């Protein structure tokens, strides 16, 4: 059965997004379909196994596992994502939730008269991101959260809410690779009730906190290419959605949050972190790709042919993107090799990954993943299509699974 035919039989995943509320969508970083996929995979495993997600994202796998009573860990090289996953997977008492709600009210009541505003973060051309009114409000609000006397758990929940609010008030659009900014409307700006927006975001986050956490989840700062058993322990199941080979920079998407929360201080730091990430190509990472040399640590006929085809495309970025595709898969090979060191015998992996196209050349990423798994010693390798990614019929997401 070909991929599109099987997709029709799996209609519950095709063009379907779960609209559930709660912790999964706290920062709108997690596609809702991924929650459904993770929960379905987890439902087929015993409650005594440990779960790992080596590409943290917003902590979806760790949270789903913890809610189902499965102990879990998640890793990432981005400290902001580790913080966010830790906040999301922490259990909260009714008293902590009530205190956070009361603290929100105290903050809003004292806005403009009690709290000392923070200095706006050093985001390049910050005036394009927020209007003068919204920027002043965000500085006041961030200063209040920092200054108010409250437990760390309360401040963390307020900071997550703050992140939701700052992106709602932003002029930026992240729905395509070339980020754009919409023009502000002076009259509309005056009519915005910013306090109400923050109050609603706090209520949204606190609503998610009522979900029961039945097992411990750990968020650990660690490179997926160098996983360490002494810090992580051993695992029986991996469910993850690594960065796709599509040149989408996750650092670019996260910059506003990371600047406001102090994880970034200057633009170069964003480029450096993106270069360290698998699949990163933003800022200085792009220029460094031009000097990157393949180590030949992993070889695959399909990969070699698509790298060659991309490099020969009639486009000034063709050579750079051919290096990008090659480096991406070498990094994934190193990651999967590292992963085997934290497995119990019989552990199972599920990689939710999409294929890609560059200048008309289809990169069968799912097949390359399967080949890498075979080369590093996995067995029972299976590729299942999950859904179409967009209007391009050749772009599909897959669940690539295997046993160690």
Q: Which residue has the higher pLDDT, 315 or 24?
A: 315
Asked if the model's pLDDT at residue 381 lies above 90, the reply is yes
Q: Which of 182-191, 216-225, 284-293, 355-364 has the lowest mean pLDDT?
A: 182-191
Region 16-42: what's the mean pLDDT? 64
Region 297-317: what's the mean pLDDT? 96
Q: Identify the pLDDT of residue 249.
A: 82
pLDDT band at 48; cut points 50, 70, 90: confident
What share of the chain has pLDDT > 70, as a percent? 89
Task: Output the average pLDDT for the chain.
Answer: 89
Sequence-distant (≥ 6) Cβ neighbours of residue 115 within 8 angstroms: 107, 140, 143, 144, 147, 148
Region 237-260: what's the mean pLDDT? 91
Region 14-38: what's the mean pLDDT? 57
Asked if the model's pLDDT at residue 33 lies above 70, the reply is no
Asked if the model's pLDDT at residue 21 lies above 60, the reply is no
Asked if the model's pLDDT at residue 99 lies above 90, the reply is yes
Q: Identify the pLDDT of residue 19.
A: 34
Q: Identify the pLDDT of residue 8.
A: 35
Q: Identify the pLDDT of residue 181.
A: 81
What share of the chain has pLDDT > 90, as a percent? 73
d(CA 260, CA 170): 13
Q: Identify the pLDDT of residue 177.
A: 57
Q: Identify the pLDDT of residue 29.
A: 60
Region 120-131: what's the mean pLDDT? 94
Region 140-154: what's the mean pLDDT? 97
Region 347-376: what's the mean pLDDT? 97
Asked if the model's pLDDT at residue 3 lies above 60, the reply is no
Region 362-380: what's the mean pLDDT? 98
Q: Identify the pLDDT of residue 182.
A: 81
Region 364-376: what's the mean pLDDT? 98
Region 248-271: what's the mean pLDDT? 91
Q: Identify the pLDDT of residue 341.
A: 96
Q: Identify the pLDDT of residue 30.
A: 53
Q: Is 381 exposed, middle or buried (0-12, 13-18, 19+ CB in 10 A)?
A: middle
């Amino acid at each position: 059965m070909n991929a599109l035919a099987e997709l029709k039989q799996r209609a519950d995943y095709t063009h379907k997004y779960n609209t559930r509320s709660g912790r999964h969508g706290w920062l709108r970083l997690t596609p809702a379909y991924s929650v459904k996929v993770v929960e379905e995979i987890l439902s087929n495993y015993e409650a005594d196994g440990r779960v790992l997600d080596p590409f943290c994202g917003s902590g979806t796998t760790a949270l789903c596992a913890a809610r189902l009573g499965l102990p879990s860990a998640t890793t990432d090289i981005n400290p902001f994502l580790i913080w966010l996953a830790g906040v999301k997977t922490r259990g909260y008492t009714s008293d902590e939730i009530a205190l956070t709600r009361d603290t929100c009210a105290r903050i809003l009541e004292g806005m403009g008269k009690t709290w000392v505003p923070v200095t706006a973060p050093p985001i390049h051309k910050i005036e394009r991101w927020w209007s003068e009114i919204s920027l002043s409000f965000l500085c006041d609000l961030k200063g209040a959260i920092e200054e108010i006397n409250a437990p760390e758990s309360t401040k963390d929940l307020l900071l997550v809410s703050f992140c939701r609010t700052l992106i709602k008030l932003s002029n930026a659009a992240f729905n395509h690779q070339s980020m754009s900014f919409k023009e502000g409307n002076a009259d509309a700006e005056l009519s915005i009730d910013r306090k109400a927006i923050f109050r609603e975001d706090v209520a949204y986050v606190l609503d998610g906190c009522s979900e029961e956490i039945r097992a411990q989840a750990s968020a650990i700062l660690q490179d997926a290419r160098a996983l360490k058993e002494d810090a992580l322990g051993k695992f029986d199941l991996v469910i993850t959605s690594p960065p796709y080979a599509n040149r989408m920079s996750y650092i670019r998407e996260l910059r506003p949050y990371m600047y406001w929360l102090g994880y970034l201080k200057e633009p170069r730091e964003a480029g450096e972190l993106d270069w360290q990430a698998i699949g990163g190509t933003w800022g200085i990472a792009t220029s460094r790709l031009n000097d990157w040399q393949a180590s030949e640590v992993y070889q695959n006929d399909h990969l070699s042919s698509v790298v060659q085809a991309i490099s020969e495309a009639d486009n000034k970025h063709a050579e750079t993107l051919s290096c990008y595709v090659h480096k991406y898969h070498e990094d994934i090979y190193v990651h999967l090799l590292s992963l085997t060191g934290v497995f119990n015998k019989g552990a199972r992996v599920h990689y939710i990954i999409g294929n890609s196209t560059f200048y008309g050349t289809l990169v069968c990423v799912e097949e390359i993943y399967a080949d890498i798994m075979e080369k590093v010693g996995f067995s029972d390798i299976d590729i299942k299509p999950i859904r179409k990614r967009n209007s391009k019929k050749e772009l599909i997401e897959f669940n690539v699974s295997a046993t160690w």
